[in-house]
Structure 1
Amino acid sequence: MSITMYTEETKVTIAPGVQFPAWTFDGTVPGPVLYLRQGDHVKLTLVNLDPRMAHSIDLHAAQIPPNQAFTDVPPGSSKTIKFDASTPGVFVYHCESAPMALHIAQGMYGAIIVTPRGGMPPNYVIVQSEFYKPLDINAVFKGTPTYVVFNGEANKYVDHPLIAKVNQPISVAFVNAGPNDFSAFHVVGAIMRDVQESGDPRNNSYGVQTCTVAPGDGALIHLLFTAPGEYSFVSHAMNQMEEGATGEFVVHQ
């Protein structure tokens, strides 16, 4: 499988009426979801369109020497990385360039889904992350975000809920891009049927009320709603919920 990605600066909306000068993969925050299948041979080319600084990419699904693969790509240059998607799971990718915390906080991250052999991709992918005052490395190091969001925008799925049906299982691939805070993913009015830590089917926990995901990690969450209605999902860390980490499933009959 061949993938080409581009690093560039652009403005993105992170809350109603709030624009942010982001550093991005392919012009969006988070960057595009990379859907792979276990056993894929991947060739990823990163093209740096940013005229001012170097960028790079660290792929958590790739088991390769980082000092060779995840190195800086200078402005106007490109780099090709090859790896085998040997382990199924839900992974993060992010910029590795220094200061790495700032590059992530400015928007350079996304999800990688490696579907196991014979499996199906998830119904939904949710990436949690934090936004700080633009270009403020001290705020990032102190861990004082302005917003904590799902898929790049505060309260995004309050106004645009995710859809499910009664007694039809759904799967949610959840990634915490950080750069700093743990997530406490919780669905109000539901118990997660099972959760696979890092998205690996060998890591099953059952009957989970709140799924803790470290920054830089992921999980595959299976849900089954038995009655129609509106079910909020949040980070149960209350400061994060108030900063925008909240959304809603609308479940139809």
Structure 2
Amino acid sequence: MKFFKSLKTKITQIKPVNPVRRRLLGGGFLAGGLVALTASGSARAQSHDNHSTPEGSATAPKDPAAQEKMRMQHGGMTTVGEVDHARNGFHPVEMLTDWDRGVASTLPDGRTLREFEITAEDKEIEIAPGIFFPAWTYNGRVPGPTLRVTEGDVVRIRFTNNSSMPHTMHFHGIHAARMDGVPGAGEAMPGEEFTYEFDAKPFGCHLYHCHSFPLKRHMQKGLYGAFIVDPDPEKHRDNPADYAVARSRLLGTPENDHWQEFIMVMNGFDTNFDEENEIYAVNSIAHAYSNEPIRVDKARPIRVYLVNVTEFDPINSFHLHGNFFDYYDHGTTLSPTLRIVDTVMQCQAQRGIIEISFAEHENGNYMFHAHQAEFAELGWMSLFQVEGEDA
């Protein structure tokens, strides 16, 4: 009898499922719907200079037979309709390789100064077909610009707050307390501005986000972005293996040009403000890379800069179908911290670098997604479209 009383107590403590999430999971719709798959083409794989790697257009021909084949092959699950990317002012395909290098100049001591202009503003964005979210943004987009610098650069960010609330830019990295981007050290009131300045270190895959309070609100409303610090190869000459890896990560080198690099920010959206997410995504748009698979050249390796900023869930994850990869936690090492894995988990603000090769694979569409089924069904589902000649 004591067992059943205890069980009854535990059952009554279970939190009921959010009805909006239940409708979405059940194949119903919310302001546009999340139902059967309609693959609308394929996204370009691009190098750092935004040139297409495989031949062909950004979007594959909308062949109904091919779309139906893909729908059946990949579970019949994604959003119906199209997000108006022009209205949003950003496109998830372009975000994959949109590195903001700032304005570079040389200081008297010979170091490189990189200057950035970042503005916070309130903006409604469409995160799934017909589903709009009242976001707080950096430079009008979610996630904000991907800032990319080199180890040892002096970074200067002029931050202007054109939003309706106090905001900051808190960088994960090494810097002085007065540059921390928290209330009392870099917070800008509406209509104000603040200039952050620090040396870029350590190298790795990092992020920035608003650290005004309440913190969870400022995070889930969209104020975050990736901050990548490429290693300076000259600092790693003593070890030939490290030097080679550093060269491959340094944007603009011939070694880096060989890689297909992508930034992927895992995020979620609480559309009814009950502190549970109704939409999950990479780079904000639900099922963006299912509807437009990311086209990659099998002859060139893939490097993914992966960042988790999902609020209201303790972890997010990345799982790859049909292949394994190496993982560099935080990107602060030049040798993998995990080898030959197909799934990694990240808590909020954790990040890392994933390296993948499809050189020995047949052509085709390879899934990658969160390995929390609910996240995948609510938007965090994607495809690599592997193309190229066999070796």
Q: CA deviation at 1:69?
A: 3.9
Tell me the distance in 2 between the aligned counterparts of 1:58 and 1:68: 6
1:130 aligns with 2:245: no
State how many pairs are aligned. 245
Which residue number in structure 1 is paired with residue 154 of structure 2? Answer: 41
Higher relative contact order (CA 8 A, sep 6+): 1
Q: Which has the higher strand share?
A: 1
CA contact (8 A) 1:179 1:216 kept: no
Which residue number in structure 2 is paired with residue 59 of structure 1? Answer: 171
Tell me the distance in 2 between the aligned counterparts of 1:180 and 1:169: 34
1:233 aligns with 2:368: yes
Match of 1:249 among 367, 381, 384: 384
Q: Deviations over 1:121-168 (max 9, x none)?
A: 46100000110025x2xx22xxx2101111011101111211212242
Tell me the distance in 1 between the aligned counterparts of 2:181 and 2:222: 21
Q: CA deviation at 1:21?
A: 1.0
Which residue number in structure 2 is paired with residue 147 of structure 1? Answer: 279
RMSD: 1.6
Tell me the distance in 1 between the aligned counterparts of 2:261 and 2:323: 17
Which residue number in structure 2 is paired with residue 200 of structure 1? Answer: 332
Which residue number in structure 2 is paired with residue 95 of structure 1? Answer: 210
Change (3 A) 1:99 1:69: closer
Q: CA deviation at 1:202?
A: 4.4
Q: CA deviation at 1:22?
A: 0.6
1:113 alignment partner, SS class: strand
Instruction: Please tell me whether Structure 1 or Structure 2 has the larger radius of gyration of its CA atoms.
Output: 2
2:201 alignment partner, SS class: coil
Q: Which moved more, 1:35-44 or 1:69-78?
A: 69-78
Q: CA deviation at 1:120?
A: 2.9
Q: Deviations over 1:62-114 (max 9, x none)?
A: 43316864332011100011111121111121111111111111111111111
Match of 1:120 among 247, 250, 264: 250
Tell me the distance in 2 between the aligned counterparts of 1:132 and 1:16: 16
Structure 2: which 5+ residue stretches go unaligned? Answer: 1-113, 233-246, 252-259
Which residue number in structure 2 is paired with residue 106 of structure 1? Answer: 221
Tell me the distance in 2 between the aligned counterparts of 1:61 and 1:178: 20
Match for 2:129: what amino acid? P
Tell me the distance in 1 between the aligned counterparts of 2:174 and 2:311: 20
Matched residues, percent identical?
Answer: 29
Tell me the distance in 1 between the aligned counterparts of 2:169 and 2:312: 18
Structure 1: which 5+ residue stretches go unaligned? Answer: none
Which residue number in structure 1 is paired with residue 182 of structure 2? Answer: 70
Which residue number in structure 2 is paired with residue 17 of structure 1? Answer: 130
Which residue number in structure 2 is paired with residue 187 of structure 1? Answer: 320
Change (3 A) 1:91 1:147: same
Q: Which has the higher helix share?
A: 2
Change (3 A) 1:42 1:155: same
Q: TM-score, normalised by structure 2?
A: 0.60
Change (3 A) 1:162 1:33: same
Match for 2:132: what amino acid? Q
CA contact (8 A) 1:180 1:215 kept: no
Tell me the distance in 2 between the aligned counterparts of 1:32 and 1:68: 19
CA contact (8 A) 1:176 1:215 kept: yes
